[in-house]
Structure 1
C-alpha cells in the first residue's frame, strides 16, 4: 500500500475487539501509514441513537491505533446503506485519503470492483427494474440482476460486509475518485459483532467483547446510566408520529406511495415497535422505517432536510492522536474543533447541517438512562479528545 492516509468508514457502536484486530493488522502490514476514521455520531445508520456518545467511541478507536476520527454528519448517517457508503467514502476522499479500508467475509478488492462495475452498467439496471416490476424487494432484485452476470458474486454479496464493500467500490468507481481499495478478511470463526456487544452490555452490563481499557470504561458508563435507553427513544418516536397529521407527514417528503396514511393510522398503537411491525412489508423494511422515524424526530415538519441530495463537506474532529496533529493542516475542507466558532464563521449550508447534528445529540442526551446525564447542548461544551 503506497497511499499515505488510509480511511475507514465506521459506526463503532461500540468499538470492539474485532475492530481493534482489523486496525492492528493494517498497521502491522503498513507501519508507515496514517489512519483516518469517519464515524457516525449520535445516531447510527440503522435509525436509532448510538449506545455511547461519539467522543467516547472515537477515543477507543484512537487508543487502538486510529490517528484521527471525524464525525459523519447525521444528514449522511440516516440514509440508505448505498447512500451511507457513498457519503462516507466521499468524506474520506475530501479528507485526502488515498485508500479505503474495510472488512469483508470473503471477497477481494478486485472481485468487489468487478461487481461494482457491472452494477453501473445499463444491463444491470434494466434487469433490476424488471425484477422490481415482478414484485421482488430491492435487495432481492439487485441480487437476481447480479446473478445474470455472476452467480458466485451474487451469492457472496448476500453477506453483509461483502455487500457494504461493494457499495464503497460502487461509490468510488461511479465518481472516479482516485482511491485504492484494501480489504481485511474478518475472522468468521471467532466473529464479534457490534450487535452482540451491545446486547451483552444492555442485558448484563458486561463488556467482555471490547478491548482492554474500553471494557472497564464501558461497564462504568452502563453502571452510571450514561447510555441510550432505547425504550425512551421509542417513546419519543411514537409521540412525534402521533402529533403529526397526514398532511404534515406528507409535507416532509419522506413518504412514498401513500405510506404516510398507514404511518398515521398505525401510530395510534400502544408501542413504537408494534406500530412498525404493522407498517413493515417486503417493500418497506424495518430498517428503512426506523430511519424515517429518526428523520421525523430530527427534521421536524415541512420539507425534510434528509431528502436533499447535497450534503456539505466539512470535517468535525472528534478525537486525535496528538503526534499526528500535523495531518490536519493538509485537509482541504473546513476542520471543525469548536461548534460555537463554526456556527459563527462557516457558510449557511454547513451551519444548517451542524444544527441538525446538535439536534441529534440533544435527542440522544434526552434518551440517556439516568436523568443526571440528560443535559442538552453538549456539542457546545465538548472538545475533540487528544491522546
Structure 2
C-alpha cells in the first residue's frame, strides 16, 4: 500500500515535546506515512518575529519526526487565525496532502465535520446574521448560530484548538478538497506550552519542555545572542508607524472603522507597548494590533499586500529527511530550494510573496540580540537543511 501523505500546519516557536508526541502519534496511526508541514517562517501569526530562525526550527522538527518542512509565506502568516489556517490548508492541499493532522482539546473528527457542515448551511447563515443584527459581537453571534444546531458544539468551539480545527474542516469542505482530518487530543493535564518554553529560555533557565538535543542547542543560541531581541523589534515597529502619515495609513487597507486615526494619534508614545495598550479595546484585540504593526513594518506606504494576499502557488523547502527526498518529486506545485533561482522565474504574485519573505528575514536578522547575527539577505545564503536519517 502506498504511503499516506499527512500534512501539518505549524509555528513550532520552538518545536517542543508536545509537538514531538503528536508527530509520533500520527506516524503510528498511519503506518509510517510521509509527514510534511507548512510552518510560519521569520514571523509568527501573533505578529512578531520567531525567537529562532526558520531553518533551525524546521530542522528541529525533522529531527523530531517530521519528514519535510516548508515555509508558509509571511503574507499568509500575518493574518487572523481563521485566515492563517485557511491558507495553510490550501497550501497543503495544493501539495497533495491527503490527511490534515492537528490537535484539539476535546472534539473528534466527527464533531468537527458536523460543525463545519452546519456552518455552510443557509440555516447557520440566517441564525448568524440575525445574531449580528441583534447587536452581538462576531464571536458571540457565531456561538449563538452554532448553538441553534448543537449547544455542545457551540460550547466546545470556544476552546482555541477546537475552533482552529473547525476552521480547517470548514476550509476543506468549502473548497471540496480530497482531504481527511486526523485529530490528536491534547493532554490538558500536562499541556506543554511554547510560550512557557520561550520564557524559560529567555530567562536563562534550563527547560525540560524541548527534546534534549533541541533544548541544549536552544540554550546555546540564547547564550550567544542568536535570537530575537523583542525590544529592538518594538522600536522598529514604533519608528515604522511614525514614518507613515495619517492619510497613508488609510491607504494601506489594513485598518477599518477609523482605527487608523486612533493609531496615528498614539504614535507619539514613548514605547510601542504603551502605544498598543492605548489603542487596544474589546473590539481591537492586542493580537490584531500586533499584526497590523508587523504588516506596516513589512509593507510600509501604499496599499498593503497583507490586506488581500495571493494564494500560495509554490512550496519553499526549509528542511528534509534525506530518506524521504523522493517525495518531493510527487508535489504538484513548484518546490523552491534556491531564492535566487526562484526570483528569476517568478510571476508577479510569486515575486511579491518572495520579496516579502526576504524583507521579513532581514527585519528578523536586524532584531537579533547580538550584532554578530544581524547580517541581512540570509534568504540567499541558506539552502534547505538535510537530515541524514
State whether TM-score is above 0.5: yes
**Partner residue, 2:21:** 21
The answer to whether the 8 A contact 2:365-2:374 is kept is: yes
**Partner residue, 2:67:** 67
**Partner residue, 2:214:** 214
The answer to whether the 8 A contact 2:157-2:163 is kept is: yes
Gaps of 5+ in 2: none
**Partner residue, 1:296:** 296
**Partner residue, 2:55:** 55
Residue 30 of structure 1 deviates from its aligned partner by 2.1
1:126-163, Cα deviation, whole Å (9 max, x unpaired): 33333334443322222222122111111111111111
1:211-237, Cα deviation, whole Å (9 max, x unpaired): 121010000000001111111111111
**Partner residue, 1:100:** 100
Report the CA distance shift for 1:128/1:364 in structure 2 as closer, same or farther (over 3 A): same
The answer to whether the 8 A contact 1:71-1:316 is kept is: yes
Separation of aligned partners in 2, 1:371 and 1:166: 43
The answer to whether the 8 A contact 2:244-2:300 is kept is: no
Are 1:322 and 2:322 matched, yes or no? yes
TM-score, reference length from structure 2: 0.97
The answer to whether the 8 A contact 2:3-2:33 is kept is: yes
Are 1:125 and 2:125 matched, yes or no? yes
The answer to whether the 8 A contact 1:365-1:375 is kept is: yes
Separation of aligned partners in 2, 1:303 and 1:48: 21
1:321-363, Cα deviation, whole Å (9 max, x unpaired): 0011100011111100000000112222111110000100111
Gaps of 5+ in 1: none
Report the CA distance shift for 1:205/1:379 in structure 2 as closer, same or farther (over 3 A): farther
SS in 2 for 1:130: helix
Matches within 5 A, 1:194-343: 194-343=194-343
Separation of aligned partners in 1, 2:325 and 2:124: 44
The answer to whether the 8 A contact 1:75-1:311 is kept is: no
Residue 201 of structure 1 deviates from its aligned partner by 1.3
**Partner residue, 1:140:** 140
Residue 125 of structure 1 deviates from its aligned partner by 2.5
User: Structure 1: which 4+ aligned runs deviate by more than 4 Å?
Assistant: none
Superposition RMSD in Å: 1.4
**Partner residue, 1:365:** 365
The answer to whether the 8 A contact 1:16-1:210 is kept is: yes
**Partner residue, 1:180:** 180
TM-score, reference length from structure 1: 0.97
